[in-house]
Chains A and B, each alone.
Chain A
Amino acid sequence: MTSSSSTGGYKTEKSWKDWLPKDHSILMVLLGTALTFEILGWFISGQSFIFNTQRLTIIILQMSIIGIIAIGVTQIIIMAGIDLSSGSMLAFTGLVAASLAQTSDFTRAVYPALTDMPVLVPILAGILMGFVLGGVNGGLIAYSGIPPFIATLGMLVAARGLARWYTSGSQVSFFIDDYAVLGSGIVPVVIFLTTAMAFHLLLRYTRYGRYTYAIGSNEQAARVAGINIKAHKLLVYTLAGGLYGLAAVVETSRTLTAQSGAGMLYELDAIAAVVIGGTSLMGGKGRITGTIIGVCILGVITSGFTFLGIGSFYTNIVKGIIIVAAVVADQYRNNNNGNR
């Protein structure tokens, strides 16, 4: 009678519901969505949706930035938290990075003494500023007990204000060539996938990941088990902030300009991608691979609607419906599986 025996009276067969959350089912949704647009494309405008290099490039580039943010948001939501501040933080950290990436050819630089610096300086500045703001989020949530929703809502407003204050509302552009490279070609995609891989490994194979899932699953149990809940929350929000800073670097490099209005509503796209990717808002469940597919679905839908010439307000309506549907599916799963 060993524990490894698979017989005994336990139910092992799976119902169709068990297949809902798996990555491959989300992948099917992605393929289905793309295929729908492909078919509609031939019917409506007589051209291919998928086999269009230019369109694919735009989709992939847009995905990469939301994707980098969504990686940070994924781990936060797995920990049963939420972060509404990523878009605002992207605007501010983007301005900070950009202000240190200007070329001396431009006479009205933000810091005339700090032009033509090595490209690593603005990159690190953006990421470090992300760490700081993320750390403020995490510190508030962990040590003052403010709900993540409220703390990050405050940061959403405050970081946008910081962004306006930093350059008094004016744009920052005229970057050194090395900085411009970060957002061109396939570099954003490489950055996105590398980051995704790193966080996938982190969540899957390290203590960091184990604690993140444990806290999201049952915070009380995690505390009793001796996990330093506060320190861990601080760390998770701080790392997420660093990812927003990285996304900001890529974004400002891609658009060759930084402005205080950047990243508007990115936080919702990121959360949507995470939820569509199968991460549970209740915490404890979720994967980076799912988020990658979620980001792709979102990118395909946005691009597909533009392709079919449907107005952007319809896109937002459909996005809203998809997010709600994903959350409903998640709650449905939670009510039917486990949690006895």
Chain B
Amino acid sequence: MNNSDDIILRTENLTKRYGGVHALEDANFTLKKGEHVAIVGDNGAGKSTFVRQITGVEQPTSGDIFFQGKRVEFNSPLEAREAGIESVFQDLALCNDLDVPSNLFLGREELLFKFGPFSILDEKKMMEKAKAVLERTAIKIPNLSNHVGDMSGGQRQCVAISRSASFASKLIIMDEPTAALGVQETTQVENIIRGLKEQEVPLILISHNLRQVFNLVDKIWVFRRGRIVGEVIASETDGNEIVSMITGMQGGVHEKASYI
């Protein structure tokens, strides 16, 4: 690639084996500053395995991960998070019995008075900040002091994404962020993603929805059977080409295939 200063994340021959199964083979991946990319591939292509290695959920069998120019080894999701890699998973990491600001600021509360575990929370400040963060995303949440457990899937997903986005993280990874959402909620989540693009926060999006991928990202990485089989600029390709890369078969895709 060109200037290495532009690269936020790079993997070199990243490999993960589970026993004899090669879940990920020699993945060489790069992500530039401010870039939004998608990872696509069939079930079992290695997308989620790849993400688990770079978010510290699992440790690679071999290969290297470079984040902001430095080689990193994440032993836990927390270490990855501390380095600035935020993940939004489908199974939301929210506390249902807490309200929106408490969830947004969980683990990094604003404090009025600092005294170890007995520090006093600045709830007013957290509420104001939460309002500001969520107003930017144009999500309708009637009452921020409601428990998130009482909210819809879309509202909860928006809270989860806003949390990642609001901590000026250096890289956000979303695994199927809209898979369980309705039309309106999907639109809201996509708006948040567009907002991240404007703020030049890099994003890796894993999605089965190719139309969504084409709408949202700059570049598409295609995985097949544990290998990266291609990287294409979204504006220079079409659904048919991507589908044949995913399946490994030339042609035979109807122009109105529902996958696209």
- CB-CB under 8 A from B93, the residues of chain A are 218, 220-221, 224-225
Q: Is the CB of A217 within 8 A of B142?
A: no
* Apart from A206-B118, A222-B107: 20 A-B pairs, beta carbons within 8 A: A3-B131, A3-B141, A4-B144, A8-B142, A12-B142, A202-B118, A207-B120, A210-B106, A210-B109, A213-B97, A213-B98, A214-B102, A217-B96, A218-B93, A221-B93, A224-B77, A224-B78, A226-B82, A284-B97, A337-B150
Does A205 reach chain B (CB closer than 8 Å)? yes
Does B34 reach chain A (CB closer than 8 Å)? no
Binds A, one of B1-9, B132-140, B170-178: B132-140
Q: Is the CB of B149 within 8 A of A340?
A: yes
- CB-CB under 8 A from B123, the residues of chain A are 205
Q: Is the CB of B108 within 8 A of A226?
A: yes
CB distance from A231 to the nearest CB of B (A): 8
| CB-CB contacts below 8 Å: A308-340 with B | 337-340
Does B52 reach chain A (CB closer than 8 Å)? no
**From A10, A210, A226, A232, contact of B78 by CB (8 A):** A226
Does B13 reach chain A (CB closer than 8 Å)? no
Interface on B for A, CB 8 Å cutoff?
77-78, 81-82, 92-98, 102, 106-109, 111, 117-121, 123, 131, 134-135, 138-144, 147, 149-150, 152-153
Bound complex: CA A97 to CA B235 (Å): 77
Bound complex: CA A213 to CA B102 (Å): 10
CB distance from A94 to the nearest CB of B (A): 27
- CB-CB under 8 A from B94, the residues of chain A are 218, 221
CB distance from A214 to the nearest CB of B (A): 5
- CB-CB under 8 A from A222, the residues of chain B are 95, 106-107
Bound complex: CA A339 to CA B92 (Å): 12
- CB-CB under 8 A from B98, the residues of chain A are 210, 213-214, 217
Q: Which residue of A lies closest to B123 (CB)?
A: A205
Chain B CB count within 10 A is highest, among A7, A214, A217, A284, for A217
- CB-CB under 8 A from B92, the residues of chain A are 221
Q: Which residue of A lies closest to B184 (CB)?
A: A9
**From A10, A214, A226, A340, contact of B142 by CB (8 A):** A10
Bound complex: CA A283 to CA B95 (Å): 11
Per-residue interface assignment for chain A, residues 257 to 295, with 1 indicating a CB less than 8 Å from any chain B CB and 0 otherwise? 000000000000000000000000001110000000000
Bound complex: CA A223 to CA B144 (Å): 23
- CB-CB under 8 A from B102, the residues of chain A are 210, 213-214
Q: Is the CB of B142 within 8 A of A227?
A: no
Per-residue interface assignment for chain A, residues 58 to 101, with 1 indicating a CB less than 8 Å from any chain B CB and 0 otherwise? 00000000000000000000000000000000000000000000
CB distance from B125 to the nearest CB of A (A): 13
Per DSSP, chain B at the interface is loop
Q: Is the CB of A205 within 8 A of B149?
A: no
Q: Is the CB of B138 within 8 A of A1?
A: yes
Bound complex: CA A216 to CA B147 (Å): 14
Q: Which residue of A lies closest to B160 (CB)?
A: A221
Per-residue interface assignment for chain A, residues 185 to 217, with 1 indicating a CB less than 8 Å from any chain B CB and 0 otherwise? 000000000000000001001111011011011
Does A5 reach chain B (CB closer than 8 Å)? yes
Q: Is the CB of B134 within 8 A of A3?
A: yes
Give the size range of A's interface with the partner.
35 or more
Q: Is the CB of B95 within 8 A of A213?
A: yes
CB distance from B103 to the nearest CB of A (A): 8
Known: A6-B142, A225-B107, A340-B149. A208 touches B117 (CB 8 A): yes
CB distance from A204 to the nearest CB of B (A): 9
**From B78, B118, B153, contact of A207 by CB (8 A):** B118
Bound complex: CA A221 to CA B119 (Å): 21
Ordered by A's residue number, 5 sampled pairs between the chains whose C-beta atoms are within 8 Å are A3-B135, A202-B118, A205-B123, A210-B98, A220-B93
Bound complex: CA A166 to CA B190 (Å): 67
Q: Which residue of A lies closest to B147 (CB)?
A: A338
Does A150 reach chain B (CB closer than 8 Å)? no
- CB-CB under 8 A from A208, the residues of chain B are 117-118
Does A235 reach chain B (CB closer than 8 Å)? yes
Q: Is the CB of A2 within 8 A of B153?
A: no
Q: Is the CB of B117 within 8 A of A8?
A: no
Known: A226-B78, A338-B96. A2 touches B149 (CB 8 A): no
Chain A CB count within 10 A is highest, among B82, B95, B153, for B95
Bound complex: CA A235 to CA B117 (Å): 9
Per-residue interface assignment for chain A, residues 1 to 25, with 1 indicating a CB less than 8 Å from any chain B CB and 0 otherwise? 1111111101010000000000000
Q: Is the CB of A232 within 8 A of B117?
A: yes
Bound complex: CA A222 to CA B94 (Å): 8
- CB-CB under 8 A from A205, the residues of chain B are 120-121, 123
Known: A218-B96, A226-B82, A227-B106. A206 touches B150 (CB 8 A): no
- CB-CB under 8 A from A210, the residues of chain B are 98, 102, 106, 109, 121
Bound complex: CA A1 to CA B134 (Å): 11
Q: Is the CB of A340 within 8 A of B153?
A: yes
- CB-CB under 8 A from B107, the residues of chain A are 222, 225-227
**From B95, B109, B142, B152, contact of A5 by CB (8 A):** B142
- CB-CB under 8 A from A6, the residues of chain B are 142-143
Bound complex: CA A210 to CA B98 (Å): 8
Bound complex: CA A265 to CA B97 (Å): 31
Chain A CB count within 10 A is highest, among B77, B118, B134, for B118
Q: Is the CB of B97 within 8 A of A223?
A: no
CB distance from B84 to the nearest CB of A (A): 13
- CB-CB under 8 A from A339, the residues of chain B are 96, 149
